[in-house]
Amino acid sequence: MNSDLVVGMAGSGGDGIVSAGEALTASAASEGYHVIMTKSFGSQIRGGESSCRVRLATGPIFNSGGTLDVAVALNWDDFMKFGGELPVGGKTVVIYDAATGVEPNALPLVGVAPNEVFSVPIGDMAKRASGSDRGKNTVVLGLLAGWFGIAQEALLKGIRKRFAKKAAAVLAGAEQSFNAGMAYAAEHPLRHSRAIGRPDGGVASRRITDGNEICAAAAIYSGCEFFGGYPITPSTEIMQFLSREIWKYGGTLLQAEDEIAGIGAAVGASFAGKKSMTATSGPGMSLKTEIIGLASIAELPLVIVNVQRGGPSTGMPTKTEQSDLYQAVFSAHGDVVRPVLAPTNVADTFAVTVHAFNIAERFQTPVVVLSDQEIAQRKESFDPIDTSRLPCVQRRIPTAAELQEYQRFRLTDDGISPISCPGMAGGGYQGAGIEHNEAGSPTASGTMHLRMTEKRFHKFDALREYTDLFQVEGDPLADLALISWGSTAGICREALHMAREEGLRVKLLVPYLLYPVMEETYREFLVNVRAGFVVEQSYQGQLYRILRMYVDLPAEVQSCARAGANPFQPIEVVERLRDASLRLQRLYGETLQPRE
């Protein structure tokens, strides 16, 4: 029995490839499997190619997997457009629609011979079973269930639920399509069984959602009362979820006329005393930059979610990348700091979003959450979240005594001054983008500007307390190290386990708080390190370069970076670690040689 299975599927828009992936994911999760599903599309507004990748395993998984165990191509031209996202190897079972006219010995897979190839009349089977080839995806589900033993009963139950409100003939056709796939698999068995085993710990249904929806749910949990935004791929689902749900909890949502109006409304709501949020992607973040500066100097709490995609400009709206870190950290004029956080998977997006609201409220600042397309739009199974560990912080409001002679920007020991809201007796003040004195009145004094700048920087000193925003795994005394963030951290988590199984001594640091750089945390992590890599999906290696500004990285700690839509595989990271280990051994050997 296998313990891990990676399935990749691709076809044209309308083939229902993503729907098939979602059905497979939901059914597997209902039976207790650990599941991650990613999806990818062409950049066309309508039509074009679509794909999905589903990884299911009997135990915990950290990423969407590497080389496919199963490749399903309804259309070879569409499949090949996804290149490195759906890699086929020598152990892959390839299933494709015979209607493509491609012979099994002439597949367009350059340089690789799959383990087994099945040319299946998928479209014809769907027509015979349901009267339409729109059931091709259901035939595919039957093939997968039959050949690989995946959640057969759960899949059939899901099909019945999905078509329950349709005409009886439609439901019957869907069931017949699924059964046709099952029957074909039984009649044409694999040479060797590839069935997946039962989940660890028995059958227990696991929760499943995507990163955008869990981010929106975390915002509601945190007490978000206002969302202002504008739809943009791949963040739109955050606004869609809140548009359905935030009203139930006394909140308000505004779909504004553009990105600038969306964040402007959110800043206004924060000024009015409401926990506020906006969400966007790279191009929208560019438009919001000026008002983020307003929130910084006015010291107003605000959470900004940037779901990263390939850039610059319109770039690649449907592909993931981690190239907006510079934008999040540095896109501001004047001396200013804004905290930047990043989740690493769907489940921890909840906690990271709650932390973002808490930091925004405590430190009276805009906070950027850097999600990315893979996390935001992938489906992932997870265990119930223990919210008792996630208290919600409220902003510091002035006491009755402080309202007697209220100074909104009073210089305090910790840099945080009480914040009033309109209608609070004695709490009126000027909140503007111009530099101000302690009362909020405009000033051109260089001395006061220095004091206010120091105040706005000094208040973040307490971020050092947030040690739970850094996760260290592996051998604490290891010579080899990995640092990674965002969705790429899952690749490194699996690479860490693989490397340790080979006997390599490795440790991994995953920062959820990317900026300000907590220098002491990195120094402590690197104290024994002689070589390693900062692994990230951006051409420039942006975190690596930011760390070099603040931390004395060992010379052999290098950047391991690449542009978006070219995902890493764990084995690639392991190979880098092997090479680094051999390099260290050679260097050590050289030190033992007698000097000439």
DSSP string across 220-254: HHHT--EEEE---TTTHHHHHHHHHHGGGGT-EEE
For residues 69 and 147, give the distance between their C-alpha atoms in angstroms, rounded to a whole number: 12
Sheet holding 68-73, edge to edge: 116-120, 88-97, 68-73, 4-12, 49-57, 34-41, 379-382, 207-210
Phi-psi domain of 315 (left: phi exceeds 0; alpha: psi -120 through 50; beta: other):
left
Q: What is the pLDDT of residue 595?
A: 54
Through-space distance between the first and last CA atoms of the chain, rounded to whole angstroms: 59
* pLDDT tens string 325-368: 999 999 989 999 999 999 999 999 999 999 999 999 999 999 99
For residues 467 and 446, give the distance between their C-alpha atoms in angstroms, rounded to a whole number: 36
Q: What is the pLDDT of residue 589?
A: 61
For residues 410 and 238, give the distance between their C-alpha atoms in angstroms, rounded to a whole number: 36
Residues paired with residue 382 on neighbouring β-strands, in sequence order = 207
Question: Which is higher by pLDDT, 375 or 135?
Answer: 375
Residue 122's SS3 state is: helix
Find the mean pLDDT for residues 274-283. 97
Model confidence, pTM: 0.93
Q: How many CA atoms lie within 13 A of 266 on its CB side?
A: 33
Q: What is the pLDDT of residue 520?
A: 96
For residues 427 and 410, give the distance between their C-alpha atoms in angstroms, rounded to a whole number: 13
- Do 536 and 561 meet the contact criterion of CB atoms below 8 Å apart? yes
Q: What is the pLDDT of residue 130?
A: 84
* pLDDT tens string 432-455: 999 999 999 999 999 999 999 999
Q: What average pLDDT does the structure give for the chain? A: 93
Q: Residue 399: name the closest of 413, 417, 422, 423 by CA.
A: 417
Sign of CA dihedral 513, 519, 521, 522: positive
Architecture of domain 468-591: 3-Layer(aba) Sandwich (3.40)
- Class level of CATH domain 4-187: alpha beta
3-state secondary structure 479-537: CEEEEECCCHHHHHHHHHHHHHHCCCCEEEEEECEEECCCHHHHHHHHCCCCEEEEEEC
- Do 565 and 318 meet the contact criterion of CB atoms below 8 Å apart? no
Q: How many CB atoms lie within 10 A of CB 130?
A: 24
Sign of CA dihedral 527, 533, 538, 540: positive
pLDDT range class, residue 48, cuts 50, 70, 90: confident
Which one-letter DSSP state was computed for residue 333?
S
- Do 540 and 564 meet the contact criterion of CB atoms below 8 Å apart? no
For residues 587 and 289, give the distance between their C-alpha atoms in angstroms, rounded to a whole number: 47
Q: Which amino acid is at 400?
A: A
Tell me which residue has tokens 């007490």: 223
For residues 501 and 578, give the distance between their C-alpha atoms in angstroms, rounded to a whole number: 12
44 has a pLDDT exceeding 80: no
Buried b (16+ CB within 10 A) or exposed e, 314-323: ebbbbbbbbb
* pLDDT tens string 135-166: 899 999 999 999 999 888 888 888 888 877 77
Max distance between CA atoms of the chain, in angstroms, equals 89
Least confident of 454-463, 506-515, 582-591: 582-591
Structure tokens at 248: 């139930």
Architecture of domain 210-389: 3-Layer(aba) Sandwich (3.40)
Least confident of 54-58, 109-113, 297-301, 479-483: 109-113
Q: How many CA atoms lie within 13 A of 209 on its CB side?
A: 20
Find the mean pLDDT for residues 177-192. 94
- Do 224 and 275 meet the contact criterion of CB atoms below 8 Å apart? yes
13 has a pLDDT exceeding 80: no
For residues 45 and 175, give the distance between their C-alpha atoms in angstroms, rounded to a whole number: 32
Find the mean pLDDT for residues 517-536. 96
Buried b (16+ CB within 10 A) or exposed e, 135-159: bbbbbbbbbbbbbbbbbbebbbebb
Strands 366-372 and 302-308: parallel
Q: How many CB atoms lie within 10 A of CB 216?
A: 28
Tell me the DSSP string of 130-186: HSSGGGHHHHHHHHHHHHH---HHHHHHHHHHHTTTS-HHHHHHHHHHHHHHHHHHH
Find the mean pLDDT for residues 36-48. 75
Residue 76 CB contacts under 8 Å (≥ 6 apart), including other chains: 96, 100, 102, 107, 108
Main-chain phi, psi angles of 258, to 5 degrees: -165, 180
For residues 448 and 411, give the distance between their C-alpha atoms in angstroms, rounded to a whole number: 11
For the chain, state the CA radius of gyration.
Answer: 26
Q: Do domains 4-187 and 468-591 have the same CATH topology?
A: no
Sorted by where each begins, the domain ranges of the chain are 4-187, 210-389, 396-465, 468-591
Residues paired with residue 120 on neighbouring β-strands, in sequence order = 97
Q: Residue 406: name the closest of 386, 387, 384, 430 by CA.
A: 430
Residues paired with residue 9 on neighbouring β-strands, in sequence order = 52, 72
Torsion of CA 293, 296, 298, 303, to 10 degrees: 100
For residues 15 and 38, give the distance between their C-alpha atoms in angstroms, rounded to a whole number: 17
- Do 104 and 117 meet the contact criterion of CB atoms below 8 Å apart? yes
- Do 244 and 412 meet the contact criterion of CB atoms below 8 Å apart? no
Q: Which amino acid is at 68?
A: L
For residues 22 and 25, give the distance between their C-alpha atoms in angstroms, rounded to a whole number: 5
pLDDT range class, residue 479, cuts 50, 70, 90: very high
